[in-house]
Amino acid sequence: MATTMYPAKINSPMTLLSAAITAAATTVPVDDADLLPDAPNVATIGRGENCETIYYGAKDGNNLTSVTRGFQGTAAAWVLGESVYRAYTAYDHDTFKSNIEMMLPIGATAYVISANAPTEVKTYGTFLRSLGYNVWVCDGTADNVQIQEALDAAGDAGGGIVHLTVGIYLINTCLKIPHYVTLEGEGFGTIIKLADDSINNSITDKWTRGAVIAPKGAWFSGFITHYTTYGFQIRDLKVDANMAGQTGLTDYDLYGIYCSWSNNERIDNVWVINAYSSGIAIWPSNPAGETYIHGEAIITRCRIENCNGAGSWAGHAGIFVSNGTALPIRVIVSDCMSFGNNIGFAVEDSAGGVLFNNCIGAENTSYGLSFSTQGQATVNGGFFYLNGIDGICVIGAGERFNTLNGVTCFWNGRYGAYLRHDFAVTGGQFINNDDAGIVLDEAYNNVISGAVITGNGASGDATYPYGIYIVRGLLPNQTTITGCFFGNDYYAYRVADCQTYGIYESGECSDVYGISIYTGNTFAVYGSTQIPFHRGASSISIIRNNAGYVTENSGTATLLNANTSVVVAHGCAATPTFISITWAENPTNVIADWWVDTIGATNFTLNGVDPGASNLTFMWKAEVR
């Protein structure tokens, strides 16, 4: 709570005591009380080093009443005619100072005021600066100077908070954040923007170009960056990398926030726009002389837009994560949105483990989420939709040990998800994508369970209008698909040519690639034809207990007298691979020879000798194995 401040009187006019007073008197008589400010207020009696500041609560004519003696200084006896006036007191100074300090964020180590701030705020800031406080006032040109000084001051103090007020901060070189320092704004009204034609000052590229502005072992620097740094945070602000204002941009140029050679960073509630390479790039590593730091990078509640440089590098993404192939460093990305970028979220070399929680990757040029080179990523929930190619895509052949839990991929320009080996997919929805719902390429050691896969391939030019398309397998091919729902209902309409197969094995899925198991799935058809399975050449996949796809059936049939064969409809969804016959009664004539042939997709034929005067009833069982 602010301390009470009392009004001053212009030019501090003086009155005199109209009578002597003791040190204990609580009423002070003066010649003209109107020369003093209205009560309540403070006044000073006497001059020099021994004067006394009093507080008066009221006026009664020319008497000051309800007086607190020795409010500052020592209460004393004063003679008739002593001076009484409203001076600038130590109380005024201390109160003014403490009340202004209360305007600063609690815990802030340094305070930066934008050029757009109200005049009175900048005036207060300048005053505090004159008192020696870590407060900087920007002028809208090269604001990186003031911000960097504030960051360095916090770093020199061993860590702290640098607070930026609402406004636009125009910088022409990257900001470098020291150990344990937090850079915070006041929400998305706090905007840090890279000035036009500042790329050479803002990028340090080890292989190509750029000024080396932070020589601490970083490969490149970005717009906001740090080097061999621990425990920094960025939160509650907006970053505009101003891609359109730069020239000659190539791969690895111009990030929004670039974190290299760092650990234990936190980025929260930051909106990044207009970066060429990535909006936020996390490349944690181990500094020289230190091995296997168990750190983590956490990115939460961020929004990344329009980070879509034209280069060929796979890291042109809203959020790019690569934490090396041998570093046990965890990266967690939660509740983030990535729109209108080349890739929404890109993971590379993620052997240390990457966890995505409830993220949205939508309307990106290529993928909502991509994996390349390595694996060990888990995606919990989230929506990946309206992306130009795939909702989720594995780019590199080496991806492995990834998990998708409850993700939703829909309305993407090609596949819902393009996966390779060692994937676990649990739950989720893959619906209404232009081509296949899920593609498994080099498919082995994959498990898909409990997913809804429907309405895919309805674009009219789909190459693989299937629920799940298994391109080819590699030894040992042990893909399991269980408990999934396959339908061909597209959005609110029933489209005849969508999802023509539920699960489609290509011709390369043969017996030399091992066994896959498809069990407990449901195949539904809405007014058009969805064929549940297409088996690859020589496939030995096990298909069991799938609703809408009968793989085992039985019944009875009769070989009539005067006949030597009977055609039986087996009712299986495919040509049976095994048929057994059990005689229900003895014929009049013993049949010495009988056999089954002409086994087809719908019928089989039992052949034998004429049973004679009586008919011959038998039981049959057909299985697709």
Its pTM stands at 0.79
pLDDT: is 108 or 61 the higher one? 61
Give tens-digit pLDDT for 322-364: 765 555 567 899 999 999 999 999 988 765 678 899 999 999 9
What is the chain's Cα-based Rg?
Answer: 40
> Whose structure tokens read 């539920």?
502
Task: Tell me if the bond preceding 476 is cis, omega within 30° of 0.
Answer: yes
Residue-wise DSSP of 440-486: ESS--S-EEES-EEES-S-SSS-S--EEEEE----SS---EEES-EE
pLDDT at 103 over 90: no
Mean pLDDT of 194-199: 84
Query: In the numeric block, which tokens belong to residue 434?
Result: 């232009």
pLDDT at 153 over 50: yes
d(C-alpha 442, C-alpha 421), whole Å: 6
pLDDT at 105 over 80: no
CB atoms within 10 A of CB 128: 21
Query: In the numeric block, which tokens belong to residue 89?
Result: 């007191």
Q: What is the pLDDT of residue 373?
A: 62
Q: What is the pLDDT of residue 376?
A: 73
d(C-alpha 479, C-alpha 541), whole Å: 9
d(C-alpha 384, C-alpha 407), whole Å: 8
pLDDT band at residue 514 under the 50/70/90 scheme: low
Give tens-digit pLDDT for 359-401: 999 999 999 999 886 667 889 999 999 999 999 998 865 556 6
Which has the closest alpha carbon to 599: 625, 621, 579? 579
Q: What is the pLDDT of residue 30?
A: 96
DSSP-derived letter for residue 99 is H
Mean pLDDT of 3-18: 91
d(C-alpha 81, C-alpha 99), whole Å: 36
pLDDT: is 314 or 562 the higher one? 562
d(C-alpha 339, C-alpha 235), whole Å: 20
Mean pLDDT of 436-451: 90
Q: What is the pLDDT of residue 140?
A: 93
Which helix or strand (DSSP H or E) is residue 150 part of? helix 144-156
Q: What is the pLDDT of residue 327?
A: 55
What angle in degrees, to the nearest 10, is found between the helix axes of 119-130 and 90-101? Answer: 120
pLDDT at 79 over 80: yes
What percent of the chain is modeled with pLDDT above 70?
81
Say if CB 563 and CB 607 are below 8 A apart: no
Q: How many degrees, rounded to 5, is the angle at CA 21 between CA 20 and CA 22? A: 135
Q: Which amino acid is present at 26?
A: T
